[in-house]
Structure 1
């Protein structure tokens, strides 16, 4: 269930670009985000909107797509929704706690990650850096 905040309340706590992406389902330009080339040994990536933990550093991998890529989320932290915008059907991912737009999931790309072996395809979570905040050393 999303946090019950009005759009004006979100505008008061998010900067203009965070609001555009998290609340209006925008996308940052590829290769410009703070966490695209960020590969710490451990830590947690949380929602920039509400602070909910979303991904651990050990699920992040280099995909070369221009946005942070994760092969799995913390259980229950990310919700999936069908997105029929852009003249195609994609899977949008949002923060379960606040409903903030994170990015999209892309399947079957064949990256050598644990989910590729376990379920025979990769579910790459392609996430906007601006939707995230990183805390080092947490598990």
Structure 2
């Protein structure tokens, strides 16, 4: 009896795959490749223009600590733009409270966010970056609200907010 239970548990553990491994977004993106961005600067130029925190996240693909962004609880109308180049990335009406500790959006401004695959934590994730300057923004997951079902989990330090007029 116990032997059968142990065998069943063994098969269950071996046969399990995490949901992240099955996500369509991660499977549809390609490996990082050389991309030509319209805003190109040297590392020294980026370091002069950005704060140390912005440089670390945007240019070194780091992640800020959760619940530290001033933009997390921002409820004003406007546009979230890339902190490095000012490209509009997300509209405030697509922002939602995900409980993750990072600003989250269910939809990007089409054409302004680019995607790559990232394996930094041992499995495939879809990384997001600014399509204009290549700055690292965060990652997108398929556990967001309707209408898209996506959660763009973005480092607040990678964003600036421009209020609607």
TM-score, normalised to structure 2, is 0.75
Look up the match of 1:24.
60
SS across alignment from 1:11: helix
- Is 1:45 aligned to residue 80 of structure 2? yes
Residue by residue over 1:77-131, the C-alpha shift from the partner in whole angstroms, topping out at 9 and shown as x without a partner, is 1001011111111000000000000000011x2x43321xxxxxx2110000000
The structure that is helix-richer by fraction is: 2
The structure that is strand-richer by fraction is: 1
Larger Rg: 2
TM-score, normalised to structure 1, is 0.89
Unaligned runs of 5+ in 1: 116-121
Unaligned runs of 5+ in 2: 1-35
Whole-Å separation in 1 of the counterparts to 2:108 and 2:71:
16
SS across alignment from 1:114: coil
4+ aligned runs moved over 3 Å, structure 1: none
Q: Higher relative CO (CA 8 A, sep ≥ 6), structure 1 or 2? A: 1
Look up the match of 1:59.
94
Matches within 5 A, 1:73-84: 73-84=108-119
Look up the match of 1:118.
none
Q: Is the 8 A contact 2:114 2:131 kept in 1?
A: yes
